[in-house]
Amino acid sequence: MTDAVILFVDDEIGFVEAMAKRLSRRGMRVHKAFDGYAAMDLLARQADVDVVVLDMKMPGRDGLSVLKDIRRDHPLVEVVMLTGHGTVESAIEGMQAGAYDYLLKPCDLEELTDRIRGAVSLKREQEGKAVAERVHGIACSRP
Amino acid sequence: MQDRNKLSYDKLSRNIALAVITVSFAPLILVGGLIFNQFSSIYREKVYAHLVEVVDKHKETIDTFLREKLYEVQYLNKAYSYGQLTDPEFLDKTLRGMQQQYGRIFVDLGVIDEFGRQVAYAGPFDLLGADYSQADWYLDSRDKVSAISDVFLGLRRSPHFIIAINNFTDGRPWTLRATIDFLSFSNLVENIRIGETGYAYILNREGVFQTKTPVGRSGEFVLTPVKAILPQSSGGGDVSVNRSEGSDGEIYIKVSSPLKGGDWKLVYQQKWNDAFSAMIRSELFTLAIFLLGGFGIVAMAVIISRKLVARFRLIDNETELMNRQMVETGKLASIGELAAGIAHEINNPVAIMIEEAGWVGDLLEDERKDFSCSDEVRRALNQVRVQGGRCRDITHKLLSFARQTDPSVSNVSLSSLIGEVVNLSMQQARFAKVSFDLDLPPELPPVRAALSELQQVFLNLINNSIQAMEAEGGVLTLSCGGDGPWAVVVVQDTGPGIPAANLGRIFDPFFTTKPVGKGSGLGLSICFGIIHRMGGEIDVESSVGNGARFTIRLPFVQQPQHVEQTKEVVHD
């Protein structure tokens, strides 16, 4: 579990800093981004990110569009949504767009770490499958 | 403001009344006046025509009478010689024969010689030898073959008139005279009586009465014609009709016709009012009807306009109230939005606070219990976490309540919904010393409803009950259960109860017993509307002193397999 790499995206800098510290202390490596563009830049540079914790409501670019870009460009990266909205609509939309799960803001740290762990293990599984497929592909391609 | 409104309403009322009165009266007056005018002119003509006819007929009768008498006397004159007629016995016999034949119209007969002396006489008076040489009638008749005298008293001192026939025998003129009884003549005229004052009489050229003067009227009564009404040419011959003023100041109709070749004049007079009494009666009657009808119209116009305006006023007031309610509702909605916005904004700082406190806690764990007050710091951190959590709960609740604009119908669990609403009302209940007694079985099947609307219904009911018990506290019992296909929710309080008089009206819009400005009177009517839209029922039982009990029945959702899914939606 110690090698989980997380990208925390939220426009509330204080929240991101505090969360990053707490999650780091729980053995995760945390990258920080304060808006959608920075998040996409960072993902492009850091190939080792496992899970993105994404705020839905951000100035500039909202979470949902960022989520869709992530699913397109980095299909293996899992996304946990943080929504401050009282509404379920955006969460449901997010789930339909391929997010791993959603959490209501302000969230419980334990809950968040649980979800992250779940997401990480899912990602590992998917990666394993992908590797196996690749290996299988390589094996098959050799006559 | 109020005064100005009142003034404008009064003005409106007045205008309506005036319009109605004008529109009603104008045709009434026009048509009534036209008909009345036609009627009176026709009636007047008929009256004149009738009078003219009467007078004309009587004139004929009188003329005929006089002519007949004249002929009869002339017959005597022609039939018998001077010698026969001057024989007293023969004359007496002749008079008796005439009286037998014609009645006692001929009073006496006499023969007068060329010197005016009566040489023969038959009759009741002793007039033999009377000298008529200076008598007016004798002098008048000298140069005529025959003459009828005016009425005079003569030697016998009683009214009579004389028919005189002149003749010649052996170159000497003589005259046969006959006296006509005045009574039988004047009866011919006096019989003409119409109405109360209609009266006929005969005047001679000098205006002296030839018949009895009208009863109770002295000789000096004079009629002065003021207006010739019609010189009756059609049928009436030379009858003339005048409107005259009597010397007693009254207005008279005078109808006159010449008699006896213009020597006499037959006059009929009648008081104007008497002649037209029927018309005057109908005039008065019409006037009375007009006045009564007019009064009725005015009264109705005033009453109707007042009623109308009162109704306008009521409607205006209701509209105004409604507008105020709309503003109020809008205000509530914006307060809800504001609350949601604030809750959002507060969420983030609260989250940061909680996380920072958590971070400090994490750090403290690394430091172990190295410094003296570490326990106290840990307790304080915990407190920050706990209170932050409370803030978070509150903002979550606010958010879920402010989400009222969502009218979408879903399956709702009554128990959890009522539980939520009760939580919102806890604070208010504590102030009012109201305790809750809840019986909310969570396994109850869901009902189909718009969540926010049902929230509003129960919030209203619970707030009403709490406010009712505000004075001395009490117990608010909330229970839900099932009754066949119905979910039944009972909201019961131990408040002062609702008087029977108000019980029938509490679901009416704008009915409120709260002081002005406190309650809108819309709460229960909104509840009623919502519940009925959902196909349910709401009713109330209450009596003074025994609290109030609201019972709501809502249909359960038919398919029980959706229960699980529903619960998830409710908790979002």
Query: pLDDT by residue (tens digit) across B325-382?
Result: 777 777 766 766 777 778 778 888 888 888 888 888 888 887 766 677 878 888 898 8
Pick the residue with more confidence: B446 or B521?
B446
CB contact (8 A) between residue A87 and residue B403: yes
- Whether the Cβ atoms of residue B54 and residue B256 lie closer than 8 Å to each other: no
Does pLDDT of B2 surpass 70? Answer: no
d(CA B544, CA A14): 59
Compare all CA atoms of chain B with the CA of A12 and give the residue at the minimum distance: B348
Whether B234 has a pLDDT exceeding 70, the answer reads no
Q: How far apart are CA B422 and CA B321, in angstroms?
A: 30
pLDDT in tens, A43-78: 999 888 999 999 888 888 888 899 999 999 998 899
Please give the pLDDT value at position B568.
41
Q: How confident is the model at residue A33 (pLDDT cuts 50, 70, 90)?
A: very high
Average pLDDT over residues B102-112: 84
- pLDDT tens-digit readout, B151-182: 877 777 777 888 888 888 777 888 888 888 87
Q: Which of A15, A24, A107, A108 to probe by mutation at the B interface, max B CB count within 10 Å?
A: A15
Classify residue B125 by burial, with Cβ atoms within 10 Å: 0-12, 13-18, 19+.
Answer: middle
- Which of B344, B355, B399 is opposite residue A18, by nearest beta carbon? B355
* Cβ contacts of B338 within 8 Å, gap of 6 or more: none
Among B388, B478, B379, B376, residue whose Cα is nearest residue B435: B478
Q: What percent of chain B has pLDDT over 70?
A: 86
Residue B565 has pLDDT above 70, yes or no: no
Total beta-carbon pairs less than 8 A apart between chain A and chain B: 52
Region of poorest pLDDT, from A42-51, B205-214, B295-304, B532-541: B205-214
User: pLDDT tier at B407 (50, 70, 90 boundaries)?
Assistant: low
Length of chain A: 143
| B149, B140 Cβ separation under 8 angstroms | yes
Looking at B24-38, B76-90, B117-131, B215-229, which range is the least confident one?
A: B215-229
Collapse the DSSP code of B200 into the 3-class scheme (helix H, G, I; strand E, B; otherwise coil) and give the result.
strand
The answer to whether B571 faces chain A, any CB pair under 8 Å, is no
The model's confidence at residue A40, banded by pLDDT at 50, 70 and 90, is very high
Closest chain B residue to A86 measured between Cα atoms? Answer: B399
Select from B348, B365, B366 the residue whose CB has the most chain A CBs within 10 Å, as the one to mutate to test that interface.
B348
Chain B contact for A59 (CB, 8 A cutoff): no
User: Which residues on chain B are in Cβ contact (under 8 Å) with A15?
Assistant: 348, 351-352, 355
Closest chain B C-alpha to A120 CA, distance in angstroms: 22
Contact B399 A12 (CB under 8 A): no
Look at A22 and B355 and tell me if their CB atoms are within 8 Å. yes
Q: Which residues of chain A neighbour B356 with C-beta distances below 8 Å?
A: 14, 18
Residues B69 and B96: beta-carbon distance below 8 Å:
no
d(CA A49, CA A34): 16
Residue B572, pLDDT > 70, answer no
Does B60 or A89 have the greater pLDDT score? B60
Residues in chain A closer than 8 A to B362 (CB atoms): 21-22, 25
Asked if residue B560 has a cis previous peptide bond (ω within 30° of 0), the answer is no
Smallest CA-to-CA distance from B432 within B394, B461, B397, B475 is with B475
What average pLDDT score do residues B495-523 get? 70
Interface check A95 vs B, CB under 8 A: no
Both tokens assigned to B206: 């000098």
CB-based contact A88 B355, cutoff 8 Å? no
Nearest residue of A to residue B398 by CA position? A86
User: Which candidate from B350, B403, B569 shows the least CB-CB separation from A106?
Assistant: B350
Q: Is there a contact between B400 and A19 if contact means CB atoms under 8 Å apart?
A: no
Lowest mean per-residue pLDDT among A126-140, B174-188, B224-238, B361-375: B224-238
The complex scores an ipTM of: 0.77
Q: Is A15 on the interface with B (CB under 8 A)?
A: yes
Predicted local confidence at residue A2, as pLDDT: 52
Q: What is the pLDDT of residue B347?
A: 81
Q: Which residues of chain B neighbour A88 with C-beta distances below 8 Å?
A: 569, 572
Does pLDDT of B275 surpass 90?
A: no
pLDDT at B235 > cutoff 70: no
Q: What is the pLDDT of residues B481-506, one digit of tens each?
A: 888 888 899 999 888 888 888 877 77
pTM across the whole model: 0.47
Q: Which of B179, B181, B88, B184 is nearest to B138 (CA)?
A: B179
The confidence score (pLDDT) of residue B521 equals: 57
The answer to whether A106 contacts chain B (CB < 8 Å) is yes
- The number of CA neighbours under 13 Å toward the Cβ of B356 is 13
* Angle formed by the axes of helices B451-468 and B523-533, nearest 10°: 140
What's the N-to-C CA distance of chain A in angstroms?
A: 39
Residue B87 binned pLDDT confidence (cut-offs 50, 70, 90): confident
B358/A106 touch (CB, cutoff 8 Å), yes or no: no
Q: What is the pLDDT of residues B418-434, one digit of tens each?
A: 888 888 788 778 888 88
Q: How distant is the Cα of A42 from the closest Cα of chain B, in angstroms?
A: 24
The residue among B345, B359, B395, B570 with the most chain A CBs within 10 A of its CB, best to mutate, is B359
Beta-carbon count within 10 A of A110 CB: 8
- Chain A residues whose beta carbon lies within 8 Å of the beta carbon of residue B359: 18, 21-22, 25
Nearest-CA residue of chain A relative to B354?
A: A106
Please count the residues of chain B.
572
**Whether A14 contacts chain B with CB within 8 A:** yes
Interchain CB contact of B358 with A (< 8 Å): yes
B265-292 mean pLDDT: 87
Tokens of B80: 């018998």
**Is the model's pLDDT at B218 over the cut of 70?**
no
Search chain B and give the residue with CA nearest A21. Answer: B359
* A63 vs A52: CA distance, rounded Å: 11
pLDDT tens sequence across B6-50: 888 889 889 999 998 999 889 988 998 899 899 888 988 888 888
Rounded average pLDDT over B396-421 = 71
C-alpha span between B146 and B244 (Å, rounded): 36
pLDDT over 60 (residue A128): yes
**Under a CB-based contact definition with an 8 Å cutoff, are residues B225 and B247 in contact?**
no
* Residue among A22, A102, A111 with most chain B CBs within 10 A, to mutate: A22
Decide if pLDDT at B120 tops 80. yes
Nearest residue of B to residue A103, measured between CA atoms: B572
Q: Is A21 on the interface with B (CB under 8 A)?
A: yes
From A84's Cα to the closest Cα of chain B, the distance in A is 7
Phi, then psi, of B292 in degrees rounded to 5: -60, -50
Give per-residue pLDDT as tens, B43-80: 888 888 888 888 888 888 888 888 888 888 888 888 88
Q: Provide the pLDDT confidence category of residue A1 given band limits of 50, 70 and 90.
A: very low
Q: What is the mean pLDDT of residues B450-471?
A: 82
Is B362–A14 a contact, with Cβ atoms under 8 angstroms apart?
A: no
pLDDT at B405 over 60: no
